[in-house]
Structure 1
Amino acid sequence: MNQITHDSNVIMHFTIKLSDGSAADSTKVNNKPAKFTMGDGSLSENFEKCLLGLVQGETKSFELQPEDAFGMPNPDNIYFVERSKFNNDVPAEVGMIVAFTQPDGVELPGVIREVAGESVTVDFNHPLAGQVVTFDVDVLEVN
């Protein structure tokens, strides 16, 4: 049996569920399993710990607290942006996720939390920060 170790190449399907049971993300939607190498930084250390020892063909579900998954929201990641930065193509609407291009050219997604006068509050924390999440994994292949 191929077992996941610290340097395994893994192909798996995963679904991230919120505490209310709704799916926040799933590789099954487009039937495109995730491919990664353990330790390459694409998964958090705590998520990798949960995968260690699983074998090819195994299905497992585990719950992670916020600090073990996407972290707690950081107040330093909340910014106030001038409303003039938005337009008809990119309206300032509460709940929208907008990609902002940083000076280095990298796009960073932010969630609009509040619109007050000429000020728009944008939260750059991970959308799942502060949430207890359940990961359902189907290990398809381990090399």
Structure 2
Amino acid sequence: MASISLKQKVCVHYTGSFDDGEVFDTTIGRTPLTYIENNHEVIPGFEAAVSTMEPGDKKKVRLEPKDAYGEPNPALLYQMPTIDIPNYDDLVVGEMIYLMNEEGYQQLARVVKVEDDGMTIFDFNHPMAGCPLNFELELISREPYTGDDQHE
């Protein structure tokens, strides 16, 4: 008896932009995005918008932060004495850098503030937290996911 897949592999082209029109990412001219539905591989609002589409459909959606990367969490701001940071002179406000967490893993953080004689503040929120996001979507395909193939 053949097993029936309850999961679907989708292939979609998209262009993502902010409200001011700045494009932050696109698959146009590249390989479309492929993911498995309900595997939490993409942001919730993106997946919800694509889930109602049929192959060949195109649509535009605007996602509020709660359906994208969420609102900024103040608990994800971290400060430390600038003097304790090696090469702190090289830090640039707004720059994204990797910092080691307490478990020994690297995490991406944005430099928020650097004071020579004070504190340096890092933000571990996703860079698009708090931002509404706009997507132009085109569903290329949706097919049962067998688990045998690799998706990108």
Please state which band the TM-score falls in when normalised by the shorter chain.
Answer: 0.7 to 0.9
Contact 2:44 2:68 in 1 (8 A): no
User: Identity of aligned pairs, percent?
Assistant: 25
Shift of 1:103: 4.1
- What one-letter code is carried by the residue in structure 2 that aligns with 1:62? V
Asked if residue 37 in structure 1 is aligned to residue 36 in structure 2, the reply is yes
CA distance in 2, matches of 1:80, 1:28: 39
1:10-37 deviation per Cα after TM superposition (whole angstroms, max 9, x unaligned)? 11122221010001222336x1321110
Shift of 1:137: 1.6
- What one-letter code is carried by the residue in structure 1 that aligns with 2:141? E
Q: Counterpart of 1:14?
A: 14
1:20–1:86 distance in 2 versus 1, CA, 3 Å: farther
1:112–1:61 distance in 2 versus 1, CA, 3 Å: same
Q: Counterpart of 1:3?
A: none
Shift of 1:56: 1.3
Shift of 1:140: 1.8
1:137–1:104 distance in 2 versus 1, CA, 3 Å: farther
Deviates more, 1:124-133 or 1:39-48: 39-48
Superposition TM-score, scaled by structure 2 size: 0.78
Asked if residue 119 in structure 1 is aligned to residue 132 in structure 2, the reply is no
RMSD value, Cα: 2.2
For the pair shown, the structure with the greater C-alpha radius of gyration is: 2
1:30-60 deviation per Cα after TM superposition (whole angstroms, max 9, x unaligned)? x132111001111233322211221112221
1:115–1:65 distance in 2 versus 1, CA, 3 Å: same
Unaligned runs of 5+ in 2: 1-5, 144-152
Q: Find runs of 4+ consecutive structure 1 residues off by over 6 angstroms.
A: none
Shift of 1:97: 0.5
CA distance in 1, matches of 2:136, 2:59: 6
Superposition TM-score, scaled by structure 1 size: 0.82
Contact 1:86 1:92 in 2 (8 A): no
